[in-house]
């Protein structure tokens, strides 16, 4: 079995839709049942990769060889099945509303033999989550579990253990650890809606450099992201990381309007998105190295579109694909920030010290409650959940 590591960096918010509403959120993102962490399921990622291949001009036979037979589809309703002149269409009640339509019957089972694809696509699991901060605007939060998963993925590729030691984050009971000394001040740091005590550990800087090398495409336009990830990566404890991923997603209120009257037909309903700058990792495996590498060459250093709301700019992700050799190089090559890039590792250390209170009180790790998600209006309707393409 041949394997490659796929890293995804969100350029815009991503809505890979979950199966059912969660609390006030009508259209939540996909999450792991056991940990509650955001994830993009393999079938959603596979569907996005298949569509990318089609958009690149691959023949249907090539797509079938790599991804397998397309999923079965239902019959398209006959002409005239959808009523016109109804309030849902133009905002004016119809004089003679059409009778309710009968749901389309499923297609008969296909007689052809389904083909198994040569490439399997794993779940894209969270690696680093962007968090709003007062220092340097934002930072990426990761944790022991996320780093352990990445190390296991690298082991599947055949990367030697000696090269993955840099991925091992420090064990934490509470708070967070940063590689840049400016994060470790006499007062707590704001991480999203919480306050957390941040300590300094130089090894986290090397960890940030390794993740930057793995994640960022090779184009010079990602130089700022490489530099910032090196300086502003935080390793948080399990509880803090879990709460940040629950409260730090984008939740957007939307309404559906009547086409002509432009008044509200349904809503508001609330849609959840992974924020821009989120980093995820998945394993691609294949029985054919040639077909696997053909797919990897197509998406490496390129963007793909995944999930719902793509017509309004959502779901854009940059891809970086690694073999065991390129991953080893990325892990063992340190990335030092340039003198002109911002933010620097210690640029605000003096300012932080000067602004610290004379007798700082012990900083609570979570002193600020998370703001509640807005609730839907009574009787508001919402469309069906789900935003990811199926593979």
Q: CA separation (Å) from 177 to 131, 207, 238, 239, 248?
A: 14, 11, 12, 14, 19
Rounded CA gap, 43 and 3, in Å?
Answer: 18
> For residue 5, what are the β-bridge partners?
283, 322
Q: Count of residues for the chain?
A: 391
Question: Which of helix, strand or coil describes residue 139?
Answer: strand
Please spell the DSSP secondary structure of 342-382, one letter per residue.
SS-SSTTHHHHHHHS-SSPPPPPSS-SPPPPPPPPPTT---
Residue 14 has a pLDDT of: 97
35, part of any domain: yes
Find out whether 49 and 304 touch, Cβ atoms under 8 Å. yes
Q: Which residues of the chain have pLDDT under 50?
A: 79-95, 108, 111, 337-372, 376-388, 390
Range(s) of the domain holding residue 301: 2-69+116-355
Number of domains in the chain: 1
Residue 352 has a pLDDT of: 40
Rounded CA gap, 14 and 305, in Å?
Answer: 9
> For residue 280, what are the β-bridge partners?
8, 126
Residue 350 has a pLDDT of: 37
Residue 114 has a pLDDT of: 84
Q: What is the pTM of this model?
A: 0.77
249, part of any domain: yes
310, part of any domain: yes
Find out whether 341 and 223 touch, Cβ atoms under 8 Å. yes
Question: Which of helix, strand or coil describes residue 39?
Answer: strand
* pLDDT one-digit tens code per residue, 141-174: 999 999 999 999 999 999 999 999 999 767 676 8
Give Cα 93 to chain centroid, integer Å.
42
Cα R_g (the chain), whole angstroms:
24
Please spell the DSSP secondary structure of 311-350, one letter per residue.
GGT--EEEEEEE-HHHHHHHHHS--PPPTTSSS-SSTTHH
Smallest Cα–Cα separation from 329: which of 149, 179, 166? 166
- Strand runs (DSSP E) across 122-277, as ranges? 124-132, 138-142, 176-178, 189-191, 194-196, 198-200, 233-236, 250-257, 264-273
360, part of any domain: no
Residue 104 has a pLDDT of: 52
What phi, psi does 262 have (nearest 5°)?
Answer: 60, 30
What phi, psi does 294 have (nearest 5°)?
Answer: -65, -40
383, part of any domain: no
Angle (nearest 5°) at CA 262 between 259 and 263: 115
What are the structure tokens assigned to 302, written together? 């390129």
290, part of any domain: yes
At a CB cut-off of 8 Å and minimum separation 6, what does 28 contact?
17, 18, 20, 21, 22, 272, 385
Residue 173 has a pLDDT of: 67
78, part of any domain: no
Smallest Cα–Cα separation from 102: which of 128, 127, 83? 83
Find out whether 267 and 23 touch, Cβ atoms under 8 Å. no
Cα first-last separation, the chain: 21
120, part of any domain: yes
* pLDDT one-digit tens code per residue, 352-386: 433 333 334 334 344 444 444 555 444 444 444 44
Rounded CA gap, 16 and 86, in Å?
Answer: 32
> For residue 251, what are the β-bridge partners?
272
């Amino acid at each position: 079995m041949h394997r490659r590591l796929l890293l995804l960096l969100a350029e815009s918010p991503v809505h890979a839709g979950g199966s059912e509403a969660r609390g006030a959120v009508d259209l939540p993102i996909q999450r792991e049942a056991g940990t509650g962490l955001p994830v993009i399921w393999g079938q959603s990622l596979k569907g996005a990769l298949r569509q990318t291949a089609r958009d690149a001009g691959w023949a249907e036979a090539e797509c079938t060889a790599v991804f397998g037979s397309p999923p079965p589809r239902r019959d398209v309703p006959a002409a005239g099945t959808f009523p016109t002149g109804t309030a849902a269409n133009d905002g004016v009640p119809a004089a003679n509303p059409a009778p309710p339509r009968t749901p389309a019957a499923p297609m008969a089972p296909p007689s052809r033999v389904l083909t198994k694809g040569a490439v399997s696509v794993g779940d894209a699991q969270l690696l680093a989550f962007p968090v709003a901060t007062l220092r340097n605007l934002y930072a990426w939060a990761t944790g022991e579990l996320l780093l352990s998963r990445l190390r296991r993925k690298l082991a599947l590729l055949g990367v030697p253990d000696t090269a993955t030691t840099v991925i091992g984050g420090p064990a934490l009971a509470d708070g967070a650890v940063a590689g840049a000394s400016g994060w470790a001040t006499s007062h707590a740091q704001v991480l999203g809606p919480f306050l957390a005590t941040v300590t300094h550990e130089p090894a986290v800087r090397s960890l940030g450099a390794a993740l930057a090398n793995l994640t960022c495409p090779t184009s010079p336009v990602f130089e700022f992201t490489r530099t910032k990830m090196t300086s502003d990566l935080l390793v948080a404890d399990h509880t803090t990381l879990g709460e940040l991923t629950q409260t730090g997603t984008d939740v957007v209120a939307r309404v559906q309007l009547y086409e002509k009257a432009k008044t509200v037909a349904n809503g508001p309903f609330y849609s959840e998105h992974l924020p821009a700058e989120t980093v995820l990792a998945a394993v691609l495996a294949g029985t054919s190295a040639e077909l696997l590498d053909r797919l990897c060459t197509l998406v490496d250093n390129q963007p793909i579109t995944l999930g719902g709301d793509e017509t309004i700019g959502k779901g854009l992700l940059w891809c970086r694909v690694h073999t065991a050799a390129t991953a080893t190089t990325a892990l063992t090559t340190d990335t030092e920030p340039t003198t002109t890039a911002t933010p620097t590792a210690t640029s605000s250390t003096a300012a932080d010290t000067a602004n610290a209170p004379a007798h700082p009180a012990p900083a609570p790790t979570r002193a600020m409650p998370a703001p509640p998600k807005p609730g839907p209006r009574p009787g508001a309707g919402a469309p069906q959940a789900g935003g990811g393409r199926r593979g």
